[in-house]
């Protein structure tokens, strides 16, 4: 039996589900759900994962930037940090650079790294982000040196890591004393439940988090002043998860028709993207009153947790 990656205990952990060679295991002490074995599938796995396939084909940076500017995770970061307090920011798992582009516009000095070289290429070509690189977080200290960043972000990255505690301990060394780390993760107790439960299954998500588990993690990694915030449920959550599920079904049919693969997709191009963006804006803006009602009714507790911690000055 795999021991808990946070408390290292293996005597109390419970297997809750099995998916082929992987099992989901729960530690009651930490309230963390993890995977046995804790093995990262490699970035090639994401190439065949429909959610990321869609993302990598993105050809309209204007739509991506607009979505990023209203993203709750990013807005929460900007409510805590400004270029005057945290100028130099590193985004680990930066993807195609949506957060970095918004942060740069606000005056931050931005850096990024991602395992997926195609996403990094998109960040460079679509958004003209120069300080982004493809590679593993373990190389970061060699490239940027220690104690060099004012803020580090991991937006929906932690749940993909095979060694979350060791990763955070290393990342802590990249921050200057007093620097901030901001993390978002999917909640273990997502309520309402996902329309697409496959998104949370291993090896896609190796861990699922609770407020308690995140607080323990950040404390053990040496961070102080830890805070955890729940993201309110929004209408776009339902739209997004419905889209993922539909996409998975469509992709299954497409692969059945054309087993040669996923590369034979039409590129879409820029034509029509302006109208797509307008339509997307119209749909999401029309959801705003429903978002306010959802937040006011306190129904549901959100899909995502945002945690932050400060690196103590004496480290």
Could you list the residues that contact Zn ion (CB under 5 A)? 4, 6-7, 27, 29-30
**Best CA proximity match to 266, nearest among 59, 124, 123, 116:** 59
Name the pairing type of β-strands 88-92 and 109-114: parallel
Q: Specify whether the CB–CB gap between 193 and 221 falls below 8 A.
A: no
CA distances in angstroms from 175 to 86, 172, 277, listed in the order given: 11, 5, 37
Query: What are the backbone dihedrals phi and psi of residue 86, each rounded to the nearest 5 degrees, phi first?
Result: -140, 70
Least Cβ distance, residue 3 to Zn ion (angstroms): 8
174 vs 280: CA distance, rounded Å = 38
Of residues 140 and 185, the one with the C-beta less far from Zn ion: 185
Of residues 6 and 140, the one with the C-beta less far from Zn ion: 6
Least Cβ distance, residue 205 to Zn ion (angstroms): 17
Q: Which two tokens stand for residue 62?
A: 């204007």
Least Cβ distance, residue 31 to Zn ion (angstroms): 8
Of residues 188 and 233, the one with the C-beta less far from Zn ion: 188
Least Cβ distance, residue 219 to Zn ion (angstroms): 13
126 vs 253: CA distance, rounded Å = 31
CA distances in angstroms from 310 to 99, 172, 300, listed in the order given: 21, 9, 29
Of residues 28 and 42, the one with the C-beta less far from Zn ion: 28
Of residues 154 and 216, the one with the C-beta less far from Zn ion: 216
Name the pairing type of β-strands 88-92 and 149-155: parallel
Of residues 30 and 92, the one with the C-beta less far from Zn ion: 30
Least Cβ distance, residue 29 to Zn ion (angstroms): 5
CA 210 to chain CA mean position, Å: 15
Least Cβ distance, residue 108 to Zn ion (angstroms): 35
């Amino acid at each position: 039996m795999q021991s808990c990656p946070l408390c290292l205990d293996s005597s109390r952990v419970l297997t809750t589900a099995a998916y082929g060679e992987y099992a989901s295991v729960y530690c009651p002490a930490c309230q963390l759900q993890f995977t046995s074995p804790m093995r990262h599938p490699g970035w090639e796995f994401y190439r065949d994962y429909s959610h990321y396939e869609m993302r990598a084909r993105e050809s309209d940076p204007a739509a991506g930037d607009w979505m990023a500017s209203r993203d709750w995770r990013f807005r929460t970061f900007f409510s805590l940090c400004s270029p005057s307090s945290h100028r130099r920011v590193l985004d680990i798992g930066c993807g195609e650079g949506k957060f970095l582009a918004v942060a740069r516009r606000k005056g931050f000095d931005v850096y990024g790294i991602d395992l997926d070289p195609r996403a990094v290429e998109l960040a460079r070509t679509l958004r003209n982000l120069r300080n982004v690189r493809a590679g593993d977080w373990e190389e970061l200290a060699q490239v940027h040196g220690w104690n060099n960043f004012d803020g580090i972000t991991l937006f929906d990255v932690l749940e993909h890591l095979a060694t979350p505690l060791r990763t955070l301990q290393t990342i802590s060394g990249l921050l200057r004393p007093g620097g901030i780390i901001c993390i978002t993760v999917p909640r273990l107790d997502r309520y309402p439940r996902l329309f697409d439960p496959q998104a949370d299954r291993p090896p896609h998500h190796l861990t699922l988090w609770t407020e308690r588990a995140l607080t323990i993690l950040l404390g053990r990694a040496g961070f102080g002043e830890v805070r955890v915030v729940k993201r309110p449920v929004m209408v776009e959550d339902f739209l997004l998860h419905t889209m993922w599920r539909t996409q998975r079904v469509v992709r299954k049919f497409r692969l059945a028709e054309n087993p040669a693969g996923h590369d034979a997709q039409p590129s879409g191009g820029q034509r029509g993207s302006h109208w797509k963006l307008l339509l997307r804006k119209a749909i999401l803006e029309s959801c705003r009153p429903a978002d306010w009602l959802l937040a006011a009714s306190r129904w549901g507790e959100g899909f995502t947790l945002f945690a932050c911690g400060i690196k103590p000055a004496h480290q």
